Structure 1
Amino acid sequence: MSEILQNSYQWLKALHVISVVAWMAGLFYLPRLFVYHAEAVSTSGETHTLFQTMERRLLRAIMNPAMIASWIFGLLMVATPDRIDWSQGWPWVKLVAVLGMTWFHMWCARTRKTFEAGTNQKPGRYFRIMNEVPTLFLIIIVVMVIVQPI
């Protein structure tokens, strides 16, 4: 198994990056939809239904598969022998940031359900602030992987 992982490592890395890019696109866009949904849409009517459809499809058709693929390809890369030195700090910081990104994904899923139920009480400003969270995780992850400062 380790020989297969070694021989396919570059492909795993490419597929991981592609998956992460798709996941990040959704993590940036869904909270932006929440901003517009909270600020400009009543809790009923055609526009409300349209936003619900857009939010649901983005989460289920793009974000969920991209997150799952990111985790699978990432874990396969981690399982590849002699690629990561776990005695260094950067892989642990990256792991915490990836767990944070996954938490944010779950937060998006729970928030979507509040809009679906018509029970959202948060203003658009709240979602504008939350929209910055994945950017912070992205910066941490990229710096840890590329620069490996610790």
Structure 2
Amino acid sequence: MVGIKALHIAALVIWCGGLFYLPGMFMLHPRASDRADFHRLRMLTRFTFAFIVSPAAVIAIISGTALVHYRHASGEWLMWKLLFVCLMVFFHLYCGGLVARLGRERNAHGRSWSAALLAVPSLLIPLVLWMVLGKPTLLSGILPFVAAP
């Protein structure tokens, strides 16, 4: 159990770091000085996405699912945490689409768009952390038909 938790945390750190790193790499593409520079940066971005960030995401999700199963975790906080993790997965897939587009288009989006992408992991990752560490009850005070645990 401790090994699964350590694996989950390590994979999560790599995945979350990658979700911050990829938009930063997208910001560098328009600044490439020549074709060779752009090609090197594109290969580095593809390698980072395909061989570092994506495997870490898969390992984080599988090990997290195992932890939920073994600990019999439940509660409103878990539902919200899983929702935010799903949003992280969608953002990951969106970044993958941008990486794929880099092969066809030099500037898929401008530099300011890539900088704005940093807002997504900046919001989602702390929300997931808050759900795990705080286990808050969000709806019990708002909706009268939701009972507090």
Using the size of structure 2 for normalisation, the TM-score is 0.86
After superposition, the Cα gap between the structure-2 partners of 1:148 and 1:17, relative to the gap in structure 1 and judged at 3 Å, is same
**Aligned to 1:48, which of 38, 51, 58?**
38
Superposition RMSD in Å = 1.4
Task: List per-residue Cα deviations over 1:33-80 (Å, max 9, x = no partner).
Answer: 101113x126x6101101111101101110111011001101111111
Number of corresponding residues: 137
> Residue 105 of structure 1 corresponds to which residue in structure 2?
92
Q: How far 1:112 moved relative to its partner?
A: 0.9
> Residue 139 of structure 1 corresponds to which residue in structure 2?
126
**Aligned to 2:19, which of 27, 41, 45?**
27
Correspondence list, 1:49-128, <5 A: 49-82=39-72, 84=73, 86=74, 88-118=75-105, 120-128=107-115
Identity fraction in percent:
27
Q: Conserved in 1, the CA contact under 8 Å of 2:25 and 2:45? A: yes
Structure 1: where are the runs of 5+ without partners?
1-8
After superposition, the Cα gap between the structure-2 partners of 1:119 and 1:37, relative to the gap in structure 1 and judged at 3 Å, is closer
Give, in whole Å, the separation in 2 of the partners of 1:25 and 1:111.
17
**Which 4+ runs in 1 deviate beyond 4 A?**
none
Using the size of structure 1 for normalisation, the TM-score is 0.86
Structure 2: where are the runs of 5+ without partners?
138-149
